[in-house]
Structure 1
Amino acid sequence: MELEIRQSALAVIFAAARAAHPFEACGLLLGSGNRIERAVPAANVAPDPAVHFEVDPASLIAAHRAARDGSAPDVAGYFHSHPNGLARPSATDAECAAHDGRVWVIVADGAITCWSDGTDGFEPLSYEVTHG
């Protein structure tokens, strides 16, 4: 599956990573199917945000409610940054993953990688940047 990510969503992800540095940024990816329409930054409430991320539960609940009432797209996945420069899932990411098929976007050193959080672990996804 090739993922489609709107340029505006990528801009939000990169801005969040720059703003959070040297800590991990995190947030939600909103869309449906293989399309990411929006990225919404969220507070990183992890006890040690320099090496971990945890999306603020209130942001996650609000996003699911908005999707249910039709005022926002579904929660398709999550994004976070790796200030260490490695744009791939870490051992901690693998331990914390829900294996629910959602998309994970990891940003590091000005680049992103995309992953599907499947039942057998993370699988890389190719992506295309779209406009509009």
Structure 2
Amino acid sequence: MEVTRGAFERLLAEAKAAAPNEACGLLLGHRGHIEAVVLAQNVHPDPATHFEIDPQALIDAHRAARSGGPEVIGYYHSHPTGGAEPSPADIAGAENDGKVWAIVANGTVRFWRAGDGGFDELPTGVHNR
């Protein structure tokens, strides 16, 4: 997985700004390269320990992709307490769709692919593009 430095730094900034709640949003790009991060409202009733991306943000991003914009590579959220690995709630709620999940915690970002049987961590490179 490749990610631009700007997108990577935005993930860290959004997580910090949302604390003590979980930040969440979309990872946009092309062919496995994350080029942009779109913050979405966390509409979960308990945003301190869970996340739910505002459905309208997801609809808007998919519409933009169909019109030639960047594709939805995956999703991100933060863990204000805990580590940057999938929680039991993340594992239970994940679709087996191959999307990338970025999880931000304690100044760290780790990338995971949702698949059959859970998550696999992805090696990641950050570049200045």
**TM-score, normalized by length of structure 2?**
0.97
Which residue does the alignment assign to 2:33?
35
Contact 1:31-1:74 at 8 Å conserved across structures:
yes
Q: CA RMSD in A?
A: 0.8
Distance 2:13 2:40 in 1: 12
Pairing of 1:94-109 with structure 2 (within 5 A)? 94-109=91-106
Secondary structure of 1:126's match? Answer: coil
Cα deviations by residue, 1:69-99 (Å, 9 ceiling, x for unpaired): 11x2000000100011311000000111011
Instruction: Report the AA paired with residue 108 of structure 2.
Output: A
Instruction: Report the AA paired with residue 124 of structure 1.
Output: E
Instruction: Report the AA paired with residue 61 of structure 2.
Output: A
Instruction: Report the AA paired with residue 34 of structure 1.
Output: G
Instruction: Report the AA paired with residue 98 of structure 2.
Output: G
Distance 1:31 1:21 in 2: 26
Which residue does the alignment assign to 1:14?
12
Instruction: Report the AA paired with residue 63 of structure 1.
Output: A
Q: Which runs of 5+ in 1 are unaligned?
A: none
Distance 1:45 1:36 in 2: 24
| Structure 1 moving runs of 4+ over 3 Å | none
Task: State the shift of 1:33 in Å.
Answer: 2.0
Q: Which runs of 5+ in 2 are unaligned?
A: none
Distance 1:118 1:130 in 2: 26
Instruction: Report the AA paired with residue 115 of structure 2.
Output: G
Which residue does the alignment assign to 1:63?
61
Contact 1:26-1:79 at 8 Å conserved across structures:
yes
Secondary structure of 2:75's match? Answer: strand
